[in-house]
């Protein structure tokens, strides 16, 4: 893989944040260094890097894709109001995957877990109530 200025910058942005940015967030950041990058380039690189296992594309719920330079196995919490995503380093659920394997005829390759909730900021917006129920599946 050729290490172009653009690709280096994109990787740099991802490695310099813990915020699991979406493609257009990355784009905005990269633009500060390279004012001419195009959004298409950002998308192409994010996918290529993800395909190569250098970064991770988060299959989270709630709309747009998010990217993470931390490719170690860990889970996430997502704020249902503002979309903030934090890491959650829980022990891996290999036993659970083993359990699942008994119940399906799929060839299992992995799993992910996403916790839903409200981040500290959004918990305090007392007025806006927000739906109360649970968000499990």
The residues that touch a second copy, with contacts defined as CB under 8 A, are 51, 53, 56, 58-62, 73-77, 79-80, 86, 88-90, 92-93, 96-97, 99-100, 103-120, 123, 131, 133-137
Nearest alpha-carbon partner for 60 in 88, 39, 40:
88
Those residues whose C-beta lies under 8 Å from the C-beta of residue 21, and which sit 6 or more positions away, are 13, 14, 29, 66, 67
CB of 63 to DNA, least distance (A): 6
Tell me which stretch binds DNA (CB under 7 A): 11-19, 31-39, 74-82, 111-119: 31-39
Q: Length of the chain, please?
A: 137
Q: Is 113 in the site for DNA (CB under 7 A)?
A: no
Using DSSP, state whether 56 is helix, strand or coil.
Answer: strand
Q: Which does 100 bind (CB under 5 to 8 A by kind): DNA, a second copy, none?
A: a second copy
């Amino acid at each position: 893989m050729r290490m172009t200025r653009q690709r280096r910058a994109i990787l740099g942005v991802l490695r310099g944040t813990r915020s699991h940015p979406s493609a257009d967030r990355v784009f905005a950041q990269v633009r500060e260094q390279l004012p001419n990058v195009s959004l298409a380039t950002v998308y192409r690189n994010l996918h290529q890097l993800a395909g190569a296992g250098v970064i991770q594309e988060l299959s989270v719920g709630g709309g747009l894709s998010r990217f993470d330079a931390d490719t170690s196995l860990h889970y996430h919490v997502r704020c249902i109001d503002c979309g903030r995503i934090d890491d959650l380093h829980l022990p891996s659920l290999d036993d659970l995957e083993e359990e699942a394997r008994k119940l399906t005829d799929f060839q299992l390759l992995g799993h992910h877990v996403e916790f839903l909730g409200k981040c500290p900021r959004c918990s305090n917006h007392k007025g806006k109530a927000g739906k109360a129920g649970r968000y499990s599946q």
